[in-house]
Amino acid sequence: MLRPGKQVQMTQANESGSVDTVLLDVDGTLIDSTYLHALAWMQAFTAHDLTPQWWEVHRAIGMGGDRLVGEICGDEVEESLGDTLRDDWERHYRKLVPDVRPLPGAVDFVRGLLDAGYRVALASSGKAEFTDAALEVMGFERDDLAAVTSSDDADDSKPAPDILEVALTEAGGGRAIVVGDTVWDVASAHRLPAECVAVRSGGFAEAELRDAGAVLVVDHVGELARRGWRP
């Protein structure tokens, strides 16, 4: 079901006709991987006798892995185990990649934007190999899109805007709109600055996404595809 968010602002942006680039988050937005990431992180934490709660891990998914350990376990754990935990997460998640599937309507959503002439870029803070796996499961190649970014392309991860800035520059775009599933996506979009359409498929609540500043909130990108949404 489409949810209102701040639709007045979205309507004004649409009528301007100035948006030429759509920057898409990947995990939880295009592919159903959020809870697989949470599982991989929990496996990494528990192997080192760390006991965060599942909800804490889930809520941190979407920010960069360089921030996630400190966010959940504190600076002391980040300093002593951060790199080890990230390596362990990567190893555990790699085993889960075969279970990743596109979210409902995600492929049609991307194709619709491409067919409409928009520059479409994947703006992910994830590892390049996992972004490539997402492209493969969706049936796209890197050359199909205007840009594809990963954690290697930016010094600072979400909620910093760096990865969005790189994606917009590589796409050769002028004005962008962001589509993402977390409050971290909304925050990074605002810092770009750009408006953000949010989806609930990553597990964040409508109210949280709207309060963070999303101009529109829907359950998943398939709803946008069915309604023929355009920036």
Domains 7-32+101-226 and 34-99 share a fold: no
- In this prediction, the residues of the chain whose per-residue pLDDT falls under 70 are 1-17
pLDDT (0 to 100) of residue 126: 86
Q: What is the pLDDT of residues 6-57, one digit of tens each?
A: 333 333 333 445 899 999 999 999 999 999 999 999 999 999 999 999 999 9
Cα pseudo-dihedral 219, 222, 228, 231, rounded to 10: 60
pLDDT (0 to 100) of residue 12: 33
Upper half-sphere CA count for residue 202 (Cβ side, 13 Å): 32
Domain ranges, ordered by start, for the chain: 7-32+101-226, 34-99
Q: From residue 137, how far is each of 3, 31, 62, 103, 222 by CA, in Å?
A: 28, 9, 20, 11, 16
pLDDT (0 to 100) of residue 17: 55
Cα gap 53→224, rounded to integer Å: 33
Q: What is the CATH number of domain 7-32+101-226?
A: 3.40.50.1000
Residue type (1 letter), 110: V
pLDDT (0 to 100) of residue 39: 99
Domain boundaries 34-99, CATH class: mainly alpha
